[in-house]
Chain A
């Protein structure tokens, strides 16, 4: 990006059995939020099992999609990976280093290399700071470059995300939603990260603006070799942007694999119904589609069903599903895993 770089860095990454470089490795990750009761003396009466034991890797340069319904634990997973929430249990290895046991100084350094883009471009930018200062702030915090270099670099960053550097002294409210999201992206890029968690980065944008932001994210990935964890509920966009996709239900990953395999050959009953429910902007296709309509609502993560936690809504549940413990993720075809007693 231009002639100024924040942090040139090359790191030898661990590889998996297929020789792919693992930028992030997550194992047994749990995040439980305590439920407390009592007015004077708070005591814990239970826990919201927002993330309840997830395993996945993110390979260097790829986009891994994380999908599932509201409240299934996508954002919590993203935050727990970045240690914005300290996990209840499990391990997160980033660029070869274990993050969960790292002290604050170590984390501060690691955070330069991993960033987050939020859903709401309105709430996530400080309304009292100019966009120039918003993008500049991480550079100041990490004491990178002198003032003059920073100014030049911020202008370059704004230009890179498609904003006229001329607007550097304007405030967020003077921008449209799509432009604000570009400011958020510029800020995330400032420290030259290798890994970005994009938490519903386009959900709050107009349809006609979503494609602009997605194209920008894809261009930046190609140019800067970025790796994304792309959290979304728009399954059509996920198919477009992701190399692999992980499907979550009630705090667990129920299926993970190459995007086209998961969409063309969904293995888990939840993935099957989820995909069948996505409307397609084509009246002929809609007319002839077979939809699997799930009955009932998502159970509370404070009190998930025993056994397979999907069994209360699963159209093909049988006795094993409640008698046996939660089914593990099993590799059904190369790189394509599902957690279901029916798929083994």
Chain B
């Protein structure tokens, strides 16, 4: 398996009337063919903007990609023309968004929206495209597919619209599927249907995925690799087991600790809370942006921004951006607690 996507030092800002928004502040990573990457972090941490920047979907102005490269199968996507980029988007890379109602066209039938891409990207005739569209709808579990091709988006429920979006996304056999909170607006039983479907299709089609969510449970169930974002930066990344069982960034640890668990007895235990508020993205970050909320911060955290680096005593690929040694600090804290 080779590298499918390489993001190098991506920086995106918005120049608004209220000032500059430092949305993405130097994001770099590699995605392998067939790999599923889960991107987590709280609201405003730059998850969506980082993906939209890669796909040439940032409104410019006010947005501006200040620097970076996005190498996808040997080409820098940031250097492509609008027209070339449009071809990459429907065909090689598919995107699914949180709200399918805004990405489906309300005045076109589902059939038209499904067959459009098949004709444009796959060179199919209308009859071929229709046949494939029915197959795709059946694949995502929509019954009576040939009749439903004539329906409009509002005639579908939220869960079905999201399945239609997945069908459209998968229609041209993409190498990469980017899903931005695709199940957040859905009920858990419907979310479970969609996740099951996506896991199955991914394994069948061998595509890579970038799955953006704030739900660590969803990531635990779908991703190979997890990447935690805070204030427009990746603060920790690595194999899902390593990061979730042995987090080395204080923000990841805080996030995991603050979550109650469905499979553990509840009442009585107080939740661990992260103190303070999320950072103001209109302030140019100085030092480690998490330091004011981090009980383990050092003097250096206030001044210098740590780079994402391999964690010395963990598995290869487990990286954290931190000046402190979380494992040591927690161990000595525990010793103190006992002593």
Using a CB–CB cutoff of 8 Å, the interface residues on chain A facing chain B are 69-70, 176, 178-179, 206-212, 214-215, 218, 233, 235-237, 239-243, 259-260, 263, 273-286, 289, 291, 293-295, 297-298
Given contacts A69-B187, A241-B266, A279-B221, contact A178 B261 (CB under 8 A): no
| Cα(A294)–Cα(B192), bound, Å | 8
Contacts of A294 in B (CB 8 A): 189, 192-193
Given contacts A209-B277, A211-B272, A281-B259, contact A241 B217 (CB under 8 A): no
Check: B313 CB closer than 8 A to any chain A CB. no
Check: B258 CB closer than 8 A to any chain A CB. yes
Contact (Cβ within 8 A) B261 A280: yes
Check: B214 CB closer than 8 A to any chain A CB. yes
Contacts of A206 in B (CB 8 A): 42-43, 214, 278
Q: Which of B43, B141, B220, B244 contacts A279 (CB 8 A)?
A: B220
| Cα(A241)–Cα(B269), bound, Å | 9
| Cβ-closest chain B residue relative to A273 | B189
| Cα(A176)–Cα(B280), bound, Å | 10
Given contacts A279-B220, A281-B261, contact A208 B271 (CB under 8 A): no
Query: How many residue-residue contacts, CB under 8 A, span A and B?
Result: 143
Contact (Cβ within 8 A) B189 A281: no
**A38 to B: closest C-beta gap in Å:** 22
16 contacts between A and B (CB under 8 A): A178-B277, A179-B277, A206-B43, A206-B214, A207-B216, A214-B271, A233-B187, A236-B217, A236-B262, A241-B260, A278-B217, A282-B261, A283-B241, A293-B196, A294-B193, A297-B160
Q: Which of A211, A286, A293, A295 contacts B220 (CB 8 A)?
A: A286
Nearest 8 CB-CB pairs, A to B?
Answer: A279-B217, A240-B260, A277-B192, A281-B216, A286-B221, A69-B187, A211-B273, A211-B271
Contact (Cβ within 8 A) B258 A207: yes
Given contacts A211-B272, A278-B217, A281-B216, contact A243 B258 (CB under 8 A): no
| Cα(A26)–Cα(B191), bound, Å | 32
| Cα(A243)–Cα(B159), bound, Å | 31
Taking A206-B42, A259-B267, A274-B188 as known contacts, 19 extra A-B pairs with beta carbons closer than 8 A to each other, sorted by chain A number, are A176-B277, A179-B277, A208-B254, A208-B274, A209-B278, A215-B271, A215-B273, A236-B262, A237-B260, A240-B271, A263-B262, A277-B189, A277-B192, A282-B220, A283-B220, A283-B221, A283-B245, A293-B189, A297-B157
| Cα(A293)–Cα(B267), bound, Å | 28
Contacts of B275 in A (CB 8 A): 212
Using a CB–CB cutoff of 8 Å, the interface residues on chain B facing chain A are 42-43, 141, 157, 159-160, 187-193, 195-196, 214-221, 240-241, 244-245, 254-256, 258-267, 269-275, 277-278
| Cα(A282)–Cα(B243), bound, Å | 10
**A314 to B: closest C-beta gap in Å:** 12
| Cα(A295)–Cα(B192), bound, Å | 10
| Cβ-closest chain B residue relative to A285 | B263
| Cβ-closest chain A residue relative to B224 | A283
Given contacts A208-B274, A211-B273, A281-B217, contact A240 B266 (CB under 8 A): yes
Contact (Cβ within 8 A) B266 A242: yes
**A162 to B: closest C-beta gap in Å:** 11
Given contacts A211-B272, A294-B193, A297-B160, contact A280 B262 (CB under 8 A): yes
| Cα(A208)–Cα(B255), bound, Å | 6
Contact (Cβ within 8 A) B261 A297: no
Contact (Cβ within 8 A) A239 B188: no
